[in-house]
């Protein structure tokens, strides 16, 4: 997949593609990564957003829609570890097909 080159392309891609994590640079032309993070969260609220920057800290307001920020001095292993944690597979509970049978048996026993 080609990496989007601007805000409009990135947002259009968010609407038509399923993805597990957004990795954004803070310093981008025309819009900050923080602003793009906000727009992504409005489109797909459950997708984690990781912001990377050359700054060691950012103001709290810049991180409001970001799940993790990694700045100057961050080890690559720390970034990768956090990405793994954020996209950890979610368990989906499947209905127990025997539950209906048990309910039917209980109903028939009670009548």
What is the DSSP secondary structure assignment for residue 48, as one 8-state letter? -
Distances in whole angstroms, Cα of residue 5 to Cα of each of 38, 62, 85, 91: 18, 21, 27, 34
Categorize the per-residue pLDDT at 4 as very low, low, confident or very high, splitting at 50, 70 and 90. Answer: low
pLDDT score, position 11? 82
pLDDT score, position 93? 64
Looking at the structure, give the CATH architecture of the domain made up of residues 7-110: 3-Layer(aba) Sandwich (3.40)
| pTM as predicted | 0.71
| pLDDT higher than threshold 80 for residue 106 | no
pLDDT, tens digit, 9 for 90 and up, residues 28-82: 878 889 999 999 999 999 999 999 999 989 999 999 999 999 999 999 999 999 9
Question: Which residue has 């570890």 as its token pair?
Answer: 81
Q: No. of H helices and E strands in the chain?
A: 4, 3
Residues 99, 92: Cα–Cα separation, whole Å? 17
Sign for the CA dihedral angle at 39, 78, 1, 17 comes to negative
Residue 31 burial (CB count, 10 A): 14
Sign for the CA dihedral angle at 85, 77, 68, 8 comes to negative
The percent of residues above 90 in pLDDT, for the chain, comes to: 48
């Amino acid at each position: 997949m080609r990496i989007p080159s601007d805000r409009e392309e990135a947002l259009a891609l968010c609407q038509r593609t399923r993805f597990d994590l957004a990795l954004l640079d803070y310093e981008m032309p025309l819009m900050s990564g923080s602003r793009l993070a906000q727009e992504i969260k409005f489109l797909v609220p459950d997708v984690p957003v990781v912001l990377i920057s050359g700054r060691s800290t950012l103001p709290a307001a810049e991180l409001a829609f970001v799940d993790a920020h990694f700045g100057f001095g961050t080890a690559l292993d720390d970034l990768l570890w956090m990405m793994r944690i954020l996209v950890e597979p979610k368990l989906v509970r499947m209905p127990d097909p025997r539950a209906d049978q048990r309910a039917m048996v209980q109903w028939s026993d009670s009548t």
